Structure 1
C-alpha cells in the first residue's frame, strides 16, 4: 500500500535516484542539467520546500515539493513539483501526489495552486493537470529549450483550491 508522507533524511538517496535522472535529462524542469548530486538535493530540499514522498512499504516511488509560489502579496498561491520513479509511472501516483498536495496546501492556508512552467511537450502532465481542474492561463512562447524538440512553449497552469 502506498502512503504519502513528509520526507525524512533517510529518504534523500531514494529521492535523488528519482529526481537526478529527470533533472539531468532537461526535458521537463527549467533547471541546469549539470548539477552535482548535492546541488540537486539542495534544490529539492531548499528551505522554502516542504518535501513529501510516496512510500510503498518502504520503497520510495515518487516525491513532490510544496511551496509558496511567490512572497508577499502572492504567498497565498502554492506551487509544486512532482516526480515519479520510472517503475511506478502509469499507476496513478502523480495524480495521488497532486491530490495530496492540494489537501496539504489548503490546510496550510493556500487559496490556489499555480504551475509556472509546464513544458508543452510534457503532454501526460498537461493532460493530468487539466483532468484535475488546472487551466492553462497563459502560454510562454518558446520559453523552454528542450534537448530534443528545440524551443517549445511552456504553460502557466492554475487552479483555485
Structure 2
C-alpha cells in the first residue's frame, strides 16, 4: 500500500465510496444527496490542507483529508477525516492513513490533532483512534442523527504531538 497526494483524476474512484459512506448515515455529518461536485468541494483540500489516497496499484483503497482545525489563532491544531472503501476494509488502510496524518501533522509543526466529530457508536473508529494515541476529551450528547440508532453522541478526540 502506498499513500500519496490525491489528484483531481482520483475523484472518479473516491466519490462512489465517499457517497456510499455518507448515504449510509452512520459516520459522517455531511448532508445526504450530494452530487460529485458538491462532495468534491467538501473533501478535496487546498493548501495548507492536504487530501491523500491509499492505493494498491491503480486501486484506491481509502482517502484522508487533513489540515488546520481552525483558522488564525487555532491553526496550530490539525484535524483530519478518513474514509476507506467499504468493500476493501480490514486491510489496515485506516490505520495507515491515521499514522500518515500523525506524521504529516508533526512534520508541519502542528501542536496536536483534534477530531471534532467521531460518532460514538462507530466502535471501529473509536478503537483505532485510541490505539493511535487519541483521547476522548468530551462527548456532545445526541449530536449525531444516526440512520439506524437515532440520536447518538459525537466524541471530540485529541492527540498531542
- TM-score normalised by the chain length of structure 2: 0.95
- Equivalent residue for 1:153? 153
Contact 2:26/2:146 (CA < 8 Å) preserved in 1? yes
Contact 1:119/1:155 (CA < 8 Å) preserved in 2? yes
Pairwise CA RMSD: 1.1
Distance in 2 (alpha carbons) for counterparts of 1:8 and 1:51: 8
What CA deviation, in whole Å up to 9, does each residue of 1:78-98 have, x standing for no partner? Answer: 100001112321111100100
Large movers: runs of 4+ above 4 Å: none
Structure 2 residue 95 is the aligned partner of structure 1 residue 108: no
Q: Give the SS at the match of 2:14.
A: helix
Contact 2:44/2:51 (CA < 8 Å) preserved in 1? yes
Distance in 1 (alpha carbons) for counterparts of 2:17 and 2:122: 17
Contact 1:26/1:32 (CA < 8 Å) preserved in 2? no
Distance in 2 (alpha carbons) for counterparts of 1:142 and 1:73: 29
- Equivalent residue for 1:124? 124
Q: Give the SS at the match of 1:159.
A: strand
- Could you tell which deviates more after superposition, 38-47 or 107-116? 38-47
The Cα shift of 1:25 comes to: 1.7
The Cα shift of 1:47 comes to: 3.2
The Cα shift of 1:46 comes to: 4.3
Q: Any gaps of 5 or more consecutive residues in structure 1?
A: none
Alignment of 1:1-161 (within 5 A): 2-47=1-46, 49-161=49-161
Contact 1:146/1:152 (CA < 8 Å) preserved in 2? yes
Q: Give the SS at the match of 2:62.
A: strand
- TM-score normalised by the chain length of structure 1: 0.95
Q: Any gaps of 5 or more consecutive residues in structure 2?
A: none
- Could you tell which deviates more after superposition, 94-103 or 37-46? 37-46
The Cα shift of 1:18 comes to: 2.0
- Could you tell which deviates more after superposition, 15-24 or 59-68? 15-24
Q: Give the SS at the match of 1:63.
A: strand
